[in-house]
Structure 1
Amino acid sequence: MIKENQRLLNWLLKLADVSIAILVMPVAYYIRFDLLFGRPGIGPGYYMQLLVVILPLYLLLYYQFNLYDPFRYKSLLSEVRRVVQANAVGLVLIFVLNFFLREVDVSRLTIVIFSALNTTLTSLIRVSLRKTLRVLREKGYNIKHLLLVGWNESTGDFFDRITSNKQFGYQIEGYLSDKVRQVGNRSILYKGTISHLAGLLDQEEIDEVIISLDYDEFPLLAEIIEVCENEGVKSNLLPFYTKYLPSKPYIDDIDGLPLINIRHIPLDNFLYSFLKRAFDIVASALGLVVLSPLLLVTAVGVRLTSPGPVIYKQLRVGRNKKEFMMYKFRSMRVDGNADMTTWGGRADSRRTAFGTFIRKCSIDELPQLFNVLKGDMSLVGPRPEREYFVQKFREEVPLYMLKHLVRPGITGWAQVNGWRGDTSIVERIKCDIYYIENWSFLLDLKILIMTVFKGIINPEEEL
């Protein structure tokens, strides 16, 4: 809805974002070398040239962090948090870019100041715009007047969300229905039967019509749409089966016939799948080389602190529900590793002291880099589980089996959001499904960076 206004706002925001970055880079240079003093190893021209490269990256990051989505549907706090996250990732990318450019005289402090100023001003612009729009809506400007046609469970949910979020800028004028409906304690006017639609659109100020018919009323759909178009009023469909649809449904075109995918999986695309797999191979191989000293020290630690094999192998369920052998550094006594039906809690008596340490720091997961090289796993994806728990959770947790549509990962969206170890399986699956339906290469990079800062130390484990 209101896509035309949103497009204009998006262009203004992009222009503002670019202008802010161009402004703050020389300011950051001035602060670093004039206010804080110091001898510049390289002139300001290099930083401005660097800006030409990083500006497109920043715009891509802002897209990835949904900073150009409609304002009406997001909280202000959520948007500011995403600005901070996007700029944090951008800061890391700038440092990586400078590493490859091999420019040793670049001032890291200048880049940090640039990032801090850019984050602050970008957030202020969005806060100011939100506040301005809210004031205008409170005064009756930029308000969209809606009329509901039909009433069912989906309509009630829609009404509740619109009325509880005034910042969306919508006002529901009432509803039409051919049947007496139970609307509960909702304060909404009954405007008559569906046959009154044409007259209402002609007499009242209605900006958009929300069509929400029950399955037995669908024969009326064509007539309702025709009435809306004849009156020059936009119409929107709110199907009674919305609970079965994803928030962003993907529509295929079958020779001109639209086909809604209930579960669109971006990684079904060969190019995306190839890109992710190529990155997994390169990154896991590089990781094994770089981390080889740590792997060696850990192996020695496991062997010296408890008799038995260094690597613990366990069957897990992966992509397409196929089992594979997952590797971990052994963290339990040999006689405590055979139980396949016990959920390992933080106070598990089977663990060794060294095992508790490596689990706390997630070091026990590092051998899974070999699983990534083999193709059983990915660096990022839903965590794999044992067959016993797969069968248990598939009966208890809605949509649990959807996690097996992609390769499992060493880390994932659930883990960096705190849902790891002995935590809610329901919340974990929600995160997994979000990841599966919204995958992008930038999202994988975001998760990997977040893992470094908040996903390595496991708060569920005690030393």
Structure 2
Amino acid sequence: MTLPLSPQADAATVAAARVGSALVRSRTVRVNRPESQTLLNRIGYALLDAPASAWMVLDALLVAGMVQLGYWLVGVSESYGVNHIAAWQGYAVFVGAFLIASLVFGLYERETLWSRSRIVVRSLLTTSVAVITAYALIYVVMYATASRRAVGCAVLGYLIGGTGIRLLAWWFVHNVRRPLLVVGSWPLFESFQAAQERGLMSEYRLVGYTSGRTQDCDGEGRRWCLGANGDVEQLRVRHHVTDMVVGSECSRDRKILDWILPCLQSGCRVTNEATFYEKAAGQILVDELTPEWFLFADLSADDCDRLSLKRIVDLLVSTVGLLATLPLWPWIALAIKLCDGGPVFYSQQRVGLKGNPFPVFKFRTMRVDAENGHSVWASPNDSRVTAVGRLLRRTRIDELPQLVNVLLGQMSLIGPRPERPDIVARLGGVIPFYNERHLIKPGLTGWAQISYKYGSSIEDAKRKLQFDLYYLKNACFELDMMILFRTLGTFLRGGI
């Protein structure tokens, strides 16, 4: 059944559709550049403007050159011997495999250059899949063999050369801060400032905001108020704005949408508040959510193929992790015993998939009488943590026994951190949609853990929920790999 819309709502919907279609057409427009640029900015903009075909040519030359180097190292006799493919066939197979894999994993997307971790993860995935594909073509389809040195040169060349060039490009692009105009109100602009203080949205330079209410341009936000909502086109030109974010209320106003349309035609990228937060800050705004979002957001929680692959990875990694770290367990147990003589392990009920409780296992890091029968949030410098426990927490070694939970299927490697039932009941009563984080298995580490500080308040729990919901919607193998690599970096650095 179709619900009737009011004329105002229908007009706003039509205007929003016009904005969306214009935005699609504007994606091929070059980045809007300020007139005054440093040399670093010029190079950064040039790299952002570079078409995907330029990167493909660069990758093709790099892979072909490294394959040729491999043939040169092994000599003509091995390269052209019985059942060995000819040099030109090696070029074709490996170049084709690397280019296709690069396209699949998004190495030629502009957004890749904004993130070092994305560059590294996508390069590793591209190399792995390209080598497997090339070998399958050579051995299975062509019934031939390839020089191992040629393959090794291609792999090393792409990993070192291709990844190195992109990391260098990231360094130049990182110096380009895209001017961002907020169309809405001072509180929205202030929230963006707070996000930048936490290290998010670093690729943007906040130029100011517009407002439809004169009172928004008074007080603390006065110096950032650039004018009225109707001045967006003039402000875009004056401040060389490349990106605009439209507040939730403004995005439903047809008049404001009509003012924004000319900005799209000029190559300015326009997004609404919720979409921008999701893409730029890796969060789903809880305050903007409705029950319909969970019904129509195409969540990844029910992707059977992805969940099957994730379970296989969980089993492999947890088994290998347990076998590799078991020799350390007696020494850890001895250190805990010598510290205060208490028990080595600590078991606690946590809420898991679909709200089902399960016991989680950890090495004990707090005093035996730390909680006295009631749950208390841990703080970064908690006095209840023992000397040995502080070291175990900083290196995340205290969570090694949770690999048993992963092996048993109660947890996954990646997912929201499980909380205690009484804390879940408390937070579920004050934070909207808090219990929806239990739509997926809890994890040893997660998007919230690598993106936000140690949480010890209701506001922190709300912030972490926004990251958990982002993972719930966008979970994929690439994101899991990125989380694992960043968690590994935290472990190797001894914690943060």
TM-score (norm 2): 0.57
SS in 2 for 1:62: coil
1:325 aligned onto 2:354: no
**Post-superposition offset of 1:6:** 1.8
Map 1:142-157 → 2, pairs under 5 A: none
One-letter amino acid of the counterpart of residue 22, structure 1: A
Q: Which residue of 2 aligns with 1:381?
A: 415
**Post-superposition offset of 1:459:** 1.4
SS in 1 for 2:349: strand
- Separation in structure 2 between the aligned mates of residue 209 and residue 326 of structure 1, nearest angstrom: 45
- Separation in structure 2 between the aligned mates of residue 304 and residue 159 of structure 1, nearest angstrom: 48
- Separation in structure 1 between the aligned mates of residue 464 and residue 192 of structure 2, nearest angstrom: 29
1:372 aligned onto 2:406: yes
Choose from 97, 109, 120 the match for 1:67.
109
**Post-superposition offset of 1:279:** 2.5
- Separation in structure 2 between the aligned mates of residue 47 and residue 316 of structure 1, nearest angstrom: 54
**Post-superposition offset of 1:326:** 1.3
**Post-superposition offset of 1:115:** 2.3
| Residues 351 and 264 of structure 1, relative CA distance in 2, 3 Å threshold | farther
Provide, for residues 205-252 of structure 1, a one-character-per-residue CA deviation record: whole Å limited to 9, x for no partner.
Answer: xxx99998969x97xx668889999xx99999988xx569964699xx
Contact 2:301–2:440 under 8 Å retained in 1: no
Map 1:212-227 → 2, pairs under 5 A: none
Q: Which residue of 2 aligns with 1:4?
A: 25
Choose from 391, 416, 439 the match for 2:475.
439
Contact 2:318–2:407 under 8 Å retained in 1: no
Q: Which residue of 2 aligns with 1:201?
A: none
SS in 2 for 1:282: helix
One-letter amino acid of the counterpart of residue 369, structure 1: L
**Post-superposition offset of 1:24:** 0.6
More helix by share: 2
One-letter amino acid of the counterpart of residue 475, structure 2: W
Q: Which residue of 2 aligns with 1:202?
A: none
One-letter amino acid of the counterpart of residue 104, structure 2: L
**Post-superposition offset of 1:22:** 0.9
**Post-superposition offset of 1:395:** 7.6
**Post-superposition offset of 1:152:** 5.3
| Residues 98 and 369 of structure 1, relative CA distance in 2, 3 Å threshold | farther
Q: Which residue of 1 aligns with 2:33?
A: none
Choose from 313, 319, 325 the match for 2:347.
313
One-letter amino acid of the counterpart of residue 61, structure 1: F
**Post-superposition offset of 1:378:** 1.9
SS in 1 for 2:475: coil
| Residues 6 and 289 of structure 1, relative CA distance in 2, 3 Å threshold | same
RMSD (Å) for aligned C-alpha atoms: 6.0
Q: Which residue of 2 aligns with 1:297?
A: 327
1:341 aligned onto 2:384: no
**Post-superposition offset of 1:412:** 1.3
Choose from 374, 390, 414 the match for 2:448.
414
- Separation in structure 2 between the aligned mates of residue 345 and residue 155 of structure 1, nearest angstrom: 29
How many residue pairs were aligned?
404
Contact 2:70–2:152 under 8 Å retained in 1: no
Map 1:70-81 → 2, pairs under 5 A: 78-79=114-115
One-letter amino acid of the counterpart of residue 26, structure 1: A
| Residues 409 and 27 of structure 1, relative CA distance in 2, 3 Å threshold | same
Provide, for residues 167-221 of structure 1, a one-character-per-residue CA deviation record: whole Å limited to 9, x for no partner.
Answer: 999999x9897x866534456566989xxxxxxxxxxxxxx99998969x97xx6
Contact 2:350–2:358 under 8 Å retained in 1: yes
Provide, for residues 396-424 of structure 1, a one-character-per-residue CA deviation record: whole Å limited to 9, x for no partner.
Answer: 88876554343211121233457458899
Contact 1:20–1:122 under 8 Å retained in 2: no
Contact 2:229–2:256 under 8 Å retained in 1: no
Q: Which residue of 2 aligns with 1:58?
A: 102
Moved more, 109-118 or 43-52: 43-52
Q: Which residue of 1 aligns with 2:293?
A: 261
| Residues 126 and 3 of structure 1, relative CA distance in 2, 3 Å threshold | farther
Choose from 105, 123, 126 the match for 2:148.
105
Contact 2:319–2:407 under 8 Å retained in 1: no
Identical-pair percentage? 21
| Residues 20 and 316 of structure 1, relative CA distance in 2, 3 Å threshold | same
- Separation in structure 2 between the aligned mates of residue 182 and residue 21 of structure 1, nearest angstrom: 51
Contact 1:212–1:238 under 8 Å retained in 2: no
Moved more, 41-50 or 19-28: 41-50
Provide, for residues 370-414 of structure 1, a one-character-per-residue CA deviation record: whole Å limited to 9, x for no partner.
Answer: 323444322211211223544566688887655434321112123
- Separation in structure 2 between the aligned mates of residue 429 and residue 386 of structure 1, nearest angstrom: 15
- Separation in structure 2 between the aligned mates of residue 384 and residue 448 of structure 1, nearest angstrom: 18
- Separation in structure 1 between the aligned mates of residue 323 and residue 476 of structure 2, nearest angstrom: 32
One-letter amino acid of the counterpart of residue 412, structure 2: S
**Post-superposition offset of 1:21:** 1.4
TM-score (norm 1): 0.61
Provide, for residues 336-376 of structure 1, a one-character-per-residue CA deviation record: whole Å limited to 9, x for no partner.
Answer: 687653427567666484x6665554344333233234443
Q: Which residue of 2 aligns with 1:114?
A: 158
Contact 1:372–1:379 under 8 Å retained in 2: yes
1:28 aligned onto 2:93: no
Contact 1:415–1:455 under 8 Å retained in 2: no
Q: Which residue of 1 aligns with 2:316?
A: 286
- Separation in structure 1 between the aligned mates of residue 134 and residue 343 of structure 2, nearest angstrom: 43
- Separation in structure 2 between the aligned mates of residue 371 and residue 245 of structure 1, nearest angstrom: 36
Q: Which residue of 2 aligns with 1:253?
A: none
Moved more, 38-47 or 80-89: 38-47
**Residue ranges of structure 1 left out of the alignment (5+ in a row):** 138-142, 194-207, 251-258
By relative contact order (CA 8 Å, sep 6+), the higher-ranking structure is 2
SS in 1 for 2:148: coil
- Separation in structure 1 between the aligned mates of residue 156 and residue 121 of structure 2, nearest angstrom: 14
One-letter amino acid of the counterpart of residue 119, structure 1: T
Contact 2:23–2:269 under 8 Å retained in 1: no
- Separation in structure 2 between the aligned mates of residue 364 and residue 159 of structure 1, nearest angstrom: 35
**Post-superposition offset of 1:38:** 7.0
**Residue ranges of structure 2 left out of the alignment (5+ in a row):** 1-21, 31-47, 80-85, 140-144, 194-200, 232-242, 285-290
Q: Which residue of 2 aligns with 1:200?
A: none
Contact 1:266–1:439 under 8 Å retained in 2: no
